[in-house]
């Protein structure tokens, strides 16, 4: 089952995660997110199709944020599903990430 | 826990790919025990984190060993017992970290402590046991 894929859109790498992101699937998500950032791309993580995310999935997002900050790259979450937002709120991370409704709402890449 | 009715006993190998099936069972279990959808999601998250901890740490560096999850009906909610025969941890290692620190790891224990009403861990060569309780009033004004 594919849990993640990457598309390039408007200067961003968009990592779209799908389904249940847990200890089994989060390594793939992590690899894709960090891979985009290692290539120097501003990166968005689309969580609209995420029905479940656990601490390992959230850790992949935090790792991405840290790497983006270190590299001076834009990093944001888009279309965060209700299920994912509840977990981010529980982790008190909902205000730590830049969150947008979709790519149309994101700042243009300079 | 002896007076409580056992609803489930499942033994599985300590592999990450087992978690999805476990969550399916937990969702049904929590729904059947009268938890609301929001409470049910929280229960699933907390017990998933406990299982993931065992998968990640108890059998680290060796072949995945057996894990047993038992669920019990309480008048007020559900109780769980998670047993593994891997490496036990000192109770001090089960403390959640301060959330002010932005770092990837250590959130699972915070989720468990936030959601569960009780959590007791007892390491033993006869099996490390994590006992967890969660009541139906979770999320209603807490």
ipTM computed for the complex: 0.92
Residue A101 pLDDT more than 50?
yes
**Do B103 and A52 lie within an 8 Å CB cutoff?**
no
Tell me if chain A has a CB within 8 Å of the CB of B142: no
What is the token pair recorded at A61?
């997002």
**Chain B partners within 8 Å of A58 (Cβ):** 107
* Chain B CA closest to residue A53: B45
User: What's the number of domains chain B is made of?
Assistant: 1
pLDDT of residue B85: 96
pLDDT of residue A2: 55
State whether residue A14 is helix, strand or coil: strand
Say which residues have a Cβ less than 8 Å from residue A74's Cβ, sequence separation at least 6: A12, A42, A43, A68, A98, A106, A107, A109
Write the CB contacts of B60 (distance below 8 Å, at least 6 apart in sequence).
B86, B87
Cα dist from A3 to A34, B24, B58, B92, whole Å: 15, 18, 26, 35
Name which of B104, B111, B113 to mutate to probe chain A: the one with the most chain A Cβ atoms within 10 A of its Cβ.
Answer: B104
Distance, in Å, from the CA atom of A84 to the CA atom of A72, rounded to the nearest integer, reads 26
**Inter-chain CB proximity B52 and A60 less than 8 Å:** no
Is residue B140 in some structural domain?
Answer: no
Q: How confident is the model at residue A30 (pLDDT cuts 50, 70, 90)?
A: very high
Is residue B92, in this structure, part of any structural domain at all? Answer: yes
Classify burial at A34, counting beta carbons within 10 Å of its beta carbon; exposed 0-12, middle 13-18, buried 19 or more. Answer: middle
**Interface with chain B: mutation pick from A1, A56, A62, A89, highest number of B CBs within 10 Å:** A56
| A22 pLDDT more than 80 | yes
pLDDT digits (tens, 9 = 90+) for B92-129: 677 777 777 787 778 999 999 999 999 999 999 999 99
Q: Is B114 helix (H, G, I), strand (E, B) or coil?
A: helix
Rounded to a whole number of angstroms, the distance from the CA of B19 to the nearest CA of chain A is 8
The tens digit of pLDDT for each residue in A36-78 reads: 999 999 999 999 999 999 999 999 999 999 999 999 999 999 9
Contact: A66, B48; criterion CB under 8 Å: no
Is the per-residue pLDDT at B46 higher than 80?
yes
Residue B111: CATH number of its domain = 3.30.565.10
| Contact assessment for residue A33 and residue A60, using Cβ atoms and an 8 Å cutoff | yes
Any A CB within 8 A of B128 CB: no
Confidence label for B141 from pLDDT (cuts 50, 70 and 90): very low
Residue B141 falls inside a structural domain: no
| 8 Å CB contact of B102 and A62 | yes
Whether the Cβ atoms of residue B128 and residue B58 lie closer than 8 Å to each other: yes
Please indicate whether residue B42 or residue B94 has the higher confidence score (pLDDT): B42
The structural domains of chain A, ordered by start, are 4-104 (3.30.750.24)
Q: Which chain B residue's Cα is nearest to A20?
A: B20
Q: For residue B104, is it within any domain?
A: yes
Residue in B20, B99, B105 nearest the CB of A22? B20
DSSP three-state, residue B57: helix
B142 domain residue, yes or no: no
Judge whether B114 is closer than 8 Å to chain A, CB to CB: yes
User: Quick check: B42 and B110 in contact, CB under 8 A?
Assistant: no
Residue B62 belongs to what domain range? 5-135
pLDDT at B142 (0 to 100):
46
pLDDT surpasses 80 at B139? no
């Amino acid at each position: 089952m594919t849990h993640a894929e990457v598309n390039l859109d408007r200067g961003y790498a968009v990592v779209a995660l799908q389904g249940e992101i847990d200890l089994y699937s989060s390594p793939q998500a992590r690899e894709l997110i960090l891979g985009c950032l290692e290539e120097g791309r501003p990166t968005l993580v689309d969580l609209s199709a995420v029905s479940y995310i656990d601490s390992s999935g959230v850790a992949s997002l935090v790792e991405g944020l840290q790497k983006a900050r270190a590299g001076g790259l834009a990093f944001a979450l888009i279309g965060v599903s209700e299920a994912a937002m509840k977990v981010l709120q529980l982790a008190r991370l909902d205000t730590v990430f830049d969150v947008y409704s979709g790519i149309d709402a994101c700042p243009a890449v300079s | 826990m002896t007076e409580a009715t056992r609803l489930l006993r499942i033994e599985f190998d300590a592999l990450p790919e087992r978690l999805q099936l476990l969550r399916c069972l937990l969702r049904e279990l929590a729904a059947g025990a009268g938890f609301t959808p929001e409470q049910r999601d929280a229960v699933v998250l907390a017990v998933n984190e406990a299982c993931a901890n065992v998968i990640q740490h108890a059998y680290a560096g060796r072949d995945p060993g057996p894990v047993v999850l038992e669920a019990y009906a309480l008048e007020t909610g559900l109780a769980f017992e998670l047993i593994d025969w891997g490496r036990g941890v000192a109770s001090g290692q089960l403390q959640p970290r301060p959330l002010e620190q932005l770092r990837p790891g250590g959130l699972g224990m915070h989720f468990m402590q936030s959601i569960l009403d009780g959590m007791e861990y007892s390491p033993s060569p006869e099996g490390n046991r994590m006992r967890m309780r969660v009541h139906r009033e979770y999320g209603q004004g807490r």
